[in-house]
Structure 1
């Protein structure tokens, strides 16, 4: 892979550190220093204002806007798009002295230092401002988002005069005037605004999205020792300008406790209005102390690291990298808000419009299944919550059942590229896979009864109508696009057919089980969706006759009909200057050869690893790997995991090389747009499924750890059967134990072992 690290941040096991400020990395740093708690997220922009290149990004999960193009589409092509909208800047601050405003793009400063502490979730930034009149002022900013009271956040500015006594003016408040970068417009109408000043200053402002009518009520309490105050109320801004007396070497602090409320549907309106009224009337009794909120955050993260930490000995780069990945996964999603999903950039930027894709269930879900059960269940609940939209989508595409969107926020299809939105079935089969995986890990029959069975039947109905039987009675899917998006309108994409067959099999299994064991709940589903068991007759015929392109001679699965006959491209001969190919090749050119964007056949061979022999894995890996260009950040991890399984240790480590640090080291030169959330999940898989040898698709969990030669040791933890398993690997041995008192049965190097808190040790020979 022609990708190189662009190193900027200081290496540290637990912190992300920026020493000195380089404007060229400003927006990269904004992404890296983003904070989120699933409910809301904020980029690491300079709260005091910055006239250089920036993206003042403040986002709320599930708060989105909609736009409609002014041209007509053919039936089945999405005629609108939805995007996570840039919202209120609740950090808004301006600092002024002697008629000079602080702006690090123009101001003179020194001793710049920024730090994100992943143990506590607290972001700090400090520097010394040198004014035009020679005054030196030490300034420190601190921000923290509550991980338990997710509407809450806290911000503090500490200001110290180093060589003078005098007055400084600090304006701080709540600002809805930001432009949404992708649309080039501000998407908010602001209504109620208020300022109340007593012991503390309370501010409030409500914004309503122009097209979708969703609301955000932003409120804050300000604590400061000030001489005078000026109120500022504008169309989209409410703020106060404080005059503060500075004494030489004496620190002054301005603290804001913020509470942001969202209203996404009418069912929440009464609760939303009640919270607003309590804030305005001073009856808001949730945590309001800055230090309490920070301590709560520290304890929350302490618990996270106890159950989810990965350690790597003698490799500080990847140690920092994997902890950053875990940190961002929990920031992005932790089950705090039922019925939300994971955008491709999380809550850190506007690329991909904040939409969720099929990789939520295939790449992100495994992390939550082994670290955060509620988070995993709530991810799947999002798909149930949006099932009606998937039904509407199927109807538009002339199918029965439910066709899940390839890109979505609200459940509607937001991708207006027909070749993706109409041809890719993997979002639907990924939902089925996610339900199967969740049930396998937790045996949650209540979820299947209440949500899963209905989704599975509707997906299977779609699969039974989207494909067709050929003249020989074989069933396949025609004019589709698989995970490899460099092949379009193909017939019998092997991944699509394989996952379709799996989904139908699993659905039949669950129908039988629910009818036999839970007849009352089963009949409720049958009645709701008018399901007839005779529908399964066709499903069984499809399963029996599904086309799976495969050669018994070579052991290779053909990616789709005719793939083996495509012209071959030596991907190593493509100049680095041609990347990314979408920007440098004509669109149709990338479809005219056997070059692969990302794993397709290898993807289903990883998802259902135990279905294949080592000989099959080797044959397919060695055929498809040289054809893969890795234009997707999700791609290298799959290759690394399979390479490790095949004993290709150096190759596995080479693919792993940028997994944990793709954003930290800006490998794709686009970290400025936001972090790659699903790729971060893939980095976790790369260690746990790759070097750890975890396999979760067999009868019981299995582990076959190896260790990269440049590591002295590593460890990871998994939650399995409601018990935490700790796995430690060094050059000599593997030790596995539980952190509780349960007895857990797993396979270790293909041998079934019973693991308890006394531990099990396997010696490498």
Structure 2
């Protein structure tokens, strides 16, 4: 794999710990210590200021800006203007002076530094001692958290304690809109209103082009009345300046309750007074009440979703960090939200969602939070009109979902991705079908789901074509999941998933016709689909070109088997990442694979293929894959585990849960690999747990890694809460909330009964 751990944080099953201050890891730590609640996210930056490298990032899901410049390439179908998640208000802004000396990370004399993120509470703490030039020592302690349910509410606590001599403390606290997006010296925000409040302040900002607004307000509570309190009202800032004299061992504590209200419609938050009334209502939530409910929230999460590993402390910490970040990034709080590739932890990938959401993130929510899973699909339904418009831009019909988006519009200005990759569209179709395996939600399927499926099928047929002899149908000039092959014909993943999308659309339409004539008539009227069109789709599907040899080996695309061969193991490690060291066109001239392509559909539609077909394709394609995608190792590990390749499965898995914690790709500083984090979860559940969810019955076939003593995980499936505990002696499935459930266990049909069900190996 050529990836080596850069371990910096201490290993603990429930806590991410940093001991000592190393400026080389400043931005990595900011990503790791990011907090979020889906509505908002904030990087783990030092609120008191730092001279170390830093990306001071504060983000709100769905708050974005448009690029300042149009794409100079004016060809039809090429995106003219991108959009991106924009940095917002620094609601944690704090500046501290002790006897007139500024406290600044990287500049002040700091000792006994520690920082901890408690995964059981979602509370980030930081402690250190600063020694002044006079020799005075002062301890500073910080805590912060974002409320997971009352998501507009965010909290900060600062404690200052002189240790040996009296100190005069000055603090400046406020809300600051002077944040820089990706370090640009450009203001994406205009200030509409400001107001100093008796115990805090409020400021209303508006984005330049999208006209979205963010009302940021705060109130302060002190352990003792400061000697002086002054109001600060600057162009992009509103806040308070405090002065207090402290004796040795006398603690001064200040708590900030921040309320941030985002208006995402682009119509503006015109009623400033009403906004302030909402703020005041939120201010009634106390720190103590918020902290109690915060701990209760995470207790419920761990009771229902924890994965316990005995015998590997590093992986134990890693998978809990993954589950924690998945909940912080998304838990179904708002159906207008999606999952960005970096979540709300950094500005890389511009905050965009990709096709990973439907293929790699959705399974976690299907098995833990079905309503959240549905909301991910609702996001795609709410942006169906934009997908229709995108299809028109490509001279096609139906709906083409974007490769990269925040608001439903295509935001990739790389034409070879935006105009050639259709994984998002077939991914949405697959996700609707996958959701149907878990939920008997006919209302969603018959109305929203079917409408998307019909428009996706319409697009696939209009984008495809027949060969000159009219013998077969397929898609020419595409790019499949393997992004090292461009403008290829009949990429098997693309053709096969297009066929799958069409077939499911036709099957579901027939079901609706039989079961709900009113919905059937409504969908025909809404989509204007005709019998002639449906017959055309069926013919295209029946004649879809899928290239497969007699041995079961799929050809990745037409002509792939004839491409020049590259031995990927002979590529120097110094050449990675290849995008930085090889000319762009050189990457496309051989059979080297970036990430699973054929193996990807063998994972998604796993139960559609025999073990031998999976084996022959794995053995052929795995040696050609260099895993330049962070999701790639997880898919390979899952298939390797299924095929009994234990050593390979373990090798691919070894860094999955700790990709960011140990900075394997040396880019954690840019933000967390959110969809790879979901892949790590799949790696345990689908890989070692042997779970498959693409059949009519739940499939479970656990194995246990040699180095583990035991492991356990939770699944929520069709009303049942399953707890699966695996040891080297046996394995147990405890079922709660349901009397019985028929599953496929190790290939045999088994009827689980409520309570404990124990099984022996073999």
TM-score by length of 1: 0.98
Give the whole-Å Cα distance in 1 for the aligned partners of 2:739 and 2:372. Answer: 23
- Does structure 1 residue 498 correspond to structure 2 residue 518? no
Q: Alignment partner of 2:7: what SS?
A: coil
Return the offset for 1:339. Answer: 1.6
Question: Which one is further off, 63-72 or 384-393?
Answer: 63-72
**Contact map agreement 2:200 2:240 (CA 8 A) in 1:** no
Task: Tell me the residue number matched to 2:747.
Answer: 750
**Contact map agreement 2:219 2:283 (CA 8 A) in 1:** no
- Does structure 1 residue 654 correspond to structure 2 residue 654? no
| 1:46-61 correspondence to structure 2 within 5 Å | 46-61=46-61
What is the aligned counterpart of 1:369 among 366, 371, 385? 366
| 1:66-465 correspondence to structure 2 within 5 Å | 66-67=66-67, 68-69=69-70, 71-181=72-182, 183-197=184-198, 201-224=199-222, 225=224, 226-265=226-265, 275-279=274-278, 282=280, 284-285=281-282, 287-465=284-462
Deviations 1:10-37 (A, max 9, x none): 0000000001010000000000000000
Give the whole-Å Cα distance in 2 for the aligned partners of 1:509 and 1:398. Answer: 27
Task: Tell me the residue number matched to 1:541.
Answer: 539
Deviations 1:340-394 (A, max 9, x none): 1000000000000000000100000001000111110111100001000000000
Task: Tell me the residue number matched to 1:27.
Answer: 27
How many positions carry a matched residue from both structures? 758
| 1:499-518 correspondence to structure 2 within 5 Å | 499-518=497-516
Question: Which one is further off, 63-72 or 102-111?
Answer: 63-72
**Contact map agreement 1:23 1:52 (CA 8 A) in 2:** yes
Distance 1:268 1:310, change over 3 A: farther
Give the whole-Å Cα distance in 2 for the aligned partners of 1:152 and 1:533. Answer: 53
Return the offset for 1:274. Answer: 6.5
Deviations 1:301-341 (A, max 9, x none): 00011110000001000000000000000000000112210
Deviations 1:695-732 (A, max 9, x none): 11112001000000000000000110122110000001
- Does structure 1 residue 684 correspond to structure 2 residue 685? no
Give the whole-Å Cα distance in 2 for the aligned partners of 1:705 and 1:711. Answer: 13
**Contact map agreement 1:10 1:18 (CA 8 A) in 2:** yes
Q: Alignment partner of 2:97: what SS?
A: strand
Q: Alignment partner of 2:715: what SS?
A: strand
Give the whole-Å Cα distance in 1 for the aligned partners of 2:644 and 2:561. Answer: 27
Return the offset for 1:98. Answer: 2.1
Give the whole-Å Cα distance in 2 for the aligned partners of 1:182 and 1:380. Answer: 34
| 1:508-587 correspondence to structure 2 within 5 Å | 508-552=506-550, 554-587=551-584
5+ long unaligned stretches in structure 2: none
**Contact map agreement 2:153 2:282 (CA 8 A) in 1:** no
**Contact map agreement 2:121 2:298 (CA 8 A) in 1:** yes
Return the offset for 1:135. Answer: 1.2
Return the offset for 1:449. Answer: 2.4
Give the whole-Å Cα distance in 1 for the aligned partners of 2:557 and 2:545. Answer: 10
Deviations 1:89-139 (A, max 9, x none): 000000002221000111001110100000000000000011111111111
Distance 1:361 1:183, change over 3 A: farther
CA RMSD of aligned residues (A): 1.3
Give the whole-Å Cα distance in 1 for the aligned partners of 2:282 and 2:689. Answer: 46
**Contact map agreement 1:311 1:716 (CA 8 A) in 2:** yes
Give the whole-Å Cα distance in 2 for the aligned partners of 1:701 and 1:690. Answer: 15
Deviations 1:587-607 (A, max 9, x none): 000000000000000000011
Deviations 1:597-641 (A, max 9, x none): 000000000111111111111110000000000000010001000
Return the offset for 1:71. Answer: 1.6
Task: Tell me the residue number matched to 2:642.
Answer: 645
Task: Tell me the residue number matched to 1:706.
Answer: 703
Return the offset for 1:471. Answer: 2.5
Return the offset for 1:524. Answer: 1.9
- Does structure 1 residue 671 correspond to structure 2 residue 672? no
5+ long unaligned stretches in structure 1: none
Give the whole-Å Cα distance in 1 for the aligned partners of 2:745 and 2:532. Answer: 43
Distance 1:274 1:195, change over 3 A: closer
Give the whole-Å Cα distance in 1 for the aligned partners of 2:480 and 2:640. Answer: 22
**Contact map agreement 2:49 2:94 (CA 8 A) in 1:** yes
Deviations 1:397-437 (A, max 9, x none): 00100000000000000000000000001110000001111
Give the whole-Å Cα distance in 1 for the aligned partners of 2:637 and 2:42. Answer: 33
**Contact map agreement 2:211 2:266 (CA 8 A) in 1:** no
What is the aligned counterpart of 1:601 among 593, 598, 603? 598
Give the whole-Å Cα distance in 2 for the aligned partners of 1:530 and 1:540. Answer: 17
**Contact map agreement 2:437 2:695 (CA 8 A) in 1:** no
**Contact map agreement 1:329 1:677 (CA 8 A) in 2:** yes
Q: Alignment partner of 2:438: what SS?
A: helix
Task: Tell me the residue number matched to 1:721.
Answer: 718
Return the offset for 1:269. Answer: 5.1
**Contact map agreement 1:364 1:678 (CA 8 A) in 2:** yes
TM-score by length of 2: 0.98
**Contact map agreement 2:99 2:167 (CA 8 A) in 1:** no
**Contact map agreement 2:211 2:267 (CA 8 A) in 1:** no
**Contact map agreement 1:718 1:724 (CA 8 A) in 2:** yes
- Does structure 1 residue 7 correspond to structure 2 residue 10? no
Deviations 1:473-496 (A, max 9, x none): 200100000000000000000000
Q: Alignment partner of 1:643: what SS?
A: helix
Deviations 1:547-597 (A, max 9, x none): 001001x32100000000000100000000000000000000000000000
Distance 1:664 1:286, change over 3 A: same
**Contact map agreement 1:287 1:293 (CA 8 A) in 2:** no
Q: Alignment partner of 2:428: what SS?
A: helix
Q: Alignment partner of 2:323: what SS?
A: helix
Give the whole-Å Cα distance in 2 for the aligned partners of 1:279 and 1:365. Answer: 34
Once superposed, which parts of structure 1, at least 4 consecutive aligned residues long, lie more than 4 Å away?
Answer: 266-270, 272-275
Give the whole-Å Cα distance in 2 for the aligned partners of 1:167 and 1:275. Answer: 39
Give the whole-Å Cα distance in 2 for the aligned partners of 1:741 and 1:490. Answer: 49
Deviations 1:67-95 (A, max 9, x none): 13352321000011110000000000000
Q: Alignment partner of 2:158: what SS?
A: strand
Give the whole-Å Cα distance in 1 for the aligned partners of 2:548 and 2:167. Answer: 80
Give the whole-Å Cα distance in 1 for the aligned partners of 2:578 and 2:748. Answer: 46
**Contact map agreement 1:40 1:61 (CA 8 A) in 2:** yes
Give the whole-Å Cα distance in 1 for the aligned partners of 2:738 and 2:385. Answer: 43
